[in-house]
Structure 1
Amino acid sequence: MRILIVEDEEKMARYLKKGLEESSYVVDIALNGTDGLHLATHEVYDLLILDIMLPEHDGKTILKEVRSAGIITPVIFLTAKDSIADRVEGLNIGADDYIVKPFSFHELLARVRVCLRRGSHKTSSELTVGDLTLDPLTRKVFRGKKKIEMSPIEFSLLEYLMQHAGQVVTRTMISEHVWDSNFESFSNVVDVHIAKLRSKIDKHFDINLIHTQRGAGYVIEEPD
């Protein structure tokens, strides 16, 4: 799962990023409204966490632009504004939740999970390629009747491949989705994790599903 945090207090943003990454989420941060709006409308995220009072573009403006673009990604507002009117306005313009500062990280994490579950019910269902199945909600993977154990990174990588089944995805596309926007795509980390994934998904089965497109990237599909 990939999360964008738009928060102008850098210390707070880094704290949230660290905590969410420790819970196996991939996290990007933006420290102002301009960068936040650009990332929110040009990258694909599973959740947006927006401070309301931001330089350049405030959180409400970002949310309105995101919704105007047809993006239904769940949004949590973080703010020091705690009046009922502020909360009602935030929810009315399209936020899924509203958390008042100061807050407990454990509370934020619980609300993140709730929003992601809601988003999964709206947009995700079991993914299937050949006899390989992946359930985004239970986070279980099966090849035929054999359950395959996955690390969080392996699960995210496989989920991304299966969401684009039959399409070639480049190393840059994979790295930006599974890791973060600052990932060094010229490193061999993607290839290493693809190799680990193949050892679990393909190695002990008659039909290989993960294929290399030389000079382009990878594709997961059932061969003709």
Structure 2
Amino acid sequence: MRVLVIDDDARLVALLQRGLRAEGYAVDAAHDGLEGIERAAAEAYDVIILDVMMPRMNGYQVCAHLRSTGDRTPILMLSAKDGDYDQAEGLETGADDYLIKPFSFVVLGARLLALLRRSRPEVRAVQHLGDLEIDRAARRCRRAGTEVPLTGREFAVLACLAERPDTAVHKTAVLDAVWDSADRRGANLVEVYVSALRRKIDRPFGRASIETVAGGSYRLRSDGA
């Protein structure tokens, strides 16, 4: 999942990037409103985290502009302004949720998952592929009833493949979905994580659910076999 953070607080941006990347999100950042608009127009994101108080353009203006151009990416607005009218203004300009600073990372993560579920209803929160269970809400994986510990990035790669079971997904598509633009080091990065997934969810259980497809793609079998 790709996230764009638009915030002029460099310290907060660094904390969000570190925490979200640990959870398997790909995170890009813009440090003022105009840069945020440019980023959002140039790349496709699954969700935008948008601060209210910024130079050049504030968050309300950025949100209104994005909606006026037809951008329907879910927006989570952040602000230290906790008044009812402040929150109402954020929602009225097109934000999907409003989170008051300071906030816990646990709450932020839950809000992001809720936004993603609402914006992508076709992807079930808990998906079963044979005896392989992928729980997106809890970001957990089980095989034959046994929980398989995965890192945030490993889970993100698995979830990306699981969105299109029995379909060849090219390495570059996985790279775009899981890694942010500042952290991509080539398609071999995907190979490393697919190998790790096979060691965890396939080999110990005598399965071969992740298939290599000619041309640089991978396919996750819907039967989990």
Q: Shorter-chain TM-score: what band?
A: 0.7 to 0.9
Contact 1:120 1:137 (C-alpha < 8 Å) held by counterparts: no
CA distance in 1, matches of 2:186, 2:110: 35
CA distance in 2, matches of 1:35, 1:201: 41
The answer to whether residue 109 in structure 2 is matched with residue 109 in structure 1 is: no
Aligned to 2:115: 119
Give the unaligned 5+ runs of structure 2: none
Contact 1:176 1:183 (C-alpha < 8 Å) held by counterparts: no
Q: For residue 186 of structure 1, what is the amino acid of its counterpart? A: G
Going from structure 1 to structure 2, the CA distance change for 1:150 and 1:159 (only over 3 Å counts) comes to same
CA distance in 2, matches of 1:62, 1:44: 15
Q: For residue 221 of structure 2, what is the amino acid of its counterpart? A: E
Aligned to 2:94: 94
Give matches, 1:160-171, under 5 Å.
160-171=160-171
CA distance in 2, matches of 1:17, 1:80: 20
Give the unaligned 5+ runs of structure 1: none
Q: Identity rate of aligned residues, in percent? A: 30
CA distance in 2, matches of 1:23, 1:209: 23
TM-align CA RMSD: 3.2
Per-residue Cα deviation, 1:129-185 (whole angstroms, up to 9, x for no partner): 333221112333223333322222211111111012233222232223223222234
Q: Which has the higher contact order (CA 8 A, sep 6+)?
A: 2
Aligned to 1:174: 174
Going from structure 1 to structure 2, the CA distance change for 1:205 and 1:17 (only over 3 Å counts) comes to closer
Q: For residue 170 of structure 1, what is the amino acid of its counterpart? A: H
Give matches, 1:1-224, under 5 Å.
2-21=2-21, 25-40=25-40, 42-45=43-46, 47-54=47-54, 58-64=58-64, 66-67=66-67, 69=70, 71=72, 73=74, 75-79=75-79, 83-99=83-99, 103-104=101-102, 107-119=103-115, 121-122=117-118, 123=121, 124-186=124-186, 188-222=188-222
Contact 1:202 1:209 (C-alpha < 8 Å) held by counterparts: yes
Helix, strand or coil: the match of 1:203?
helix
